[in-house]
Amino acid sequence: MDVEKPFFVTICWANFTRPSYTVYFLILTVISISILQISSKSSVFPSTWVIGSSKSESEEKTRFLTDPGSCYWFYKNEVSPRKMVMSIRDFGGIGDGNTSNTIAFRKALEYLKRFDKNGGSQLNVPEGRWVTGSFNLTSNFTLFLEFGAVILGSQIPEEWPVIEALPSYGRGRERLGGRHISLIHGDSLSNVVITGENGTIDGQGRMWWDLWWNRTLEHTRGHLVELMNSHNILISNLTFRNSPFWTIHPVYCSDVVIKGMTILAPLNAPNTDGIDPDSSTNVCIEDCYIESGDDLVAVKSGWDRYGIKMARPSSNIVVRNVSGTTPTCSGVGIGSEMSGGISNVHIENLHVRNSAAGVRLKTDIGRGGYIINITITNITLDRVKIPFRFSRGANDHPDDGWDPKALPTVKGIYISNLVSIDTIRAPLLEGIEDSPFEGICMRNISLLGLSPSLKWQCEFVKGVAVQVSPEPCQQLLNDNSGSSSWCLNSIGFQ
């Protein structure tokens, strides 16, 4: 896997040239001391604030929160060592890969909850294989997976209880009624960190995929991690595998950072999206590698009339330095559930390979809502079938109560600096007849390897294309304003 080095590794060396052996020795000494300080009984800061730094923790934090090359500052909470730090072993946990630890995890969180307003708490998961059903987190809490720690999702469906459907969906996304709770869940929380020394959380999702494939699924599958109605969330430096359904799902959340994650699922595993911010604001997704049976990242905000009624948009979303592959879906998807509105999404430094699509906007008649001010820049696509696709007509509704007059608004889509290698299909831009997609601005687009016989397909779209090869559709060449300056000077390219 071509995973880029974490950003903090690069920045630690940014100010050094030709270091002497003395400097090497000092740096290694600091690293060694920092590592020794990490134990099952000590509070742990996220690794980007400790490893390799000789500065104080507050100075190091300030450097990362103010760094213009990162959106790490979206996580706004002051992190300090948790007052109470315990191990899952303290609650009877056994990491042999067979023993159920469901009671141990639930007991641990129930106990540590009492420190919510008294210095916070941290639960360490040591090296081992820890089988568990779902459990709920608490506020002012850190779940820390030590090196070699693996949390395994229970293979007993009853250990993933059924909970109510999300109000912005009106029902389970796959089946009527409720839905299975996520393996790691939280509601109405603040200041939550899920991190570690590259430990693993494995949902063991095949049981759930089989139910979906066999059409015997009774309720919508659970996510690997879902946090609801929560703020100041940090998920970092871990590997997530084999989620039953969408992997990381922040919904009705704010100030969320998902950084330095590796997310893996078999490429045929159904609907195993990587990261799905949903009706959430101020979300930073960066420095992640994802292999998935669905979208690597999908921005959502509710489904038809339920999303329209709840009116909880997704806004201020940053997706940067993300790479991966998905054979059936896209690197980044916007929608199709977008009825609460999606705005101010910035996507940059995306590398997608061997996939169905690079970037896709998905909506439909009956969705309502809006998709506005989307900036997509510095994109590399390698053997991706279709570079970008704006689509309609999924005919996918929660029930018969959807309103055919609820038309989505799509406006202000800025795409620049995109290179597609071994392109198989030309872009497909399909707007809606009574609600055309407007303000589409494309600049410096190169679709290499595309057969001359394959032409862009565009319908009910309006915009401008500058320095785009091969030549785009006529709808992007006829600028009704008489000038392309609005595109070239747009805030989307500043």
Q: How many residues does the chain have?
A: 494
Cβ of 174: how many Cβ atoms within 10 Å?
Answer: 14
> Is residue 188 left, alpha or beta, with left meaning phi > 0 and alpha meaning psi from -120 to 50?
left
Is residue 180 a contact partner of residue 161, using CB atoms and an 8 Å limit?
yes
294 is catalytic: yes
Per the rule left: phi > 0, alpha: psi between -120 and 50, beta: everything else, 208 is alpha
CA 226 vs. chain centroid, Å, equals 11
User: Catalytic one among 294, 295, 304, 364?
Assistant: 294
Active-site residues, by number, are 294
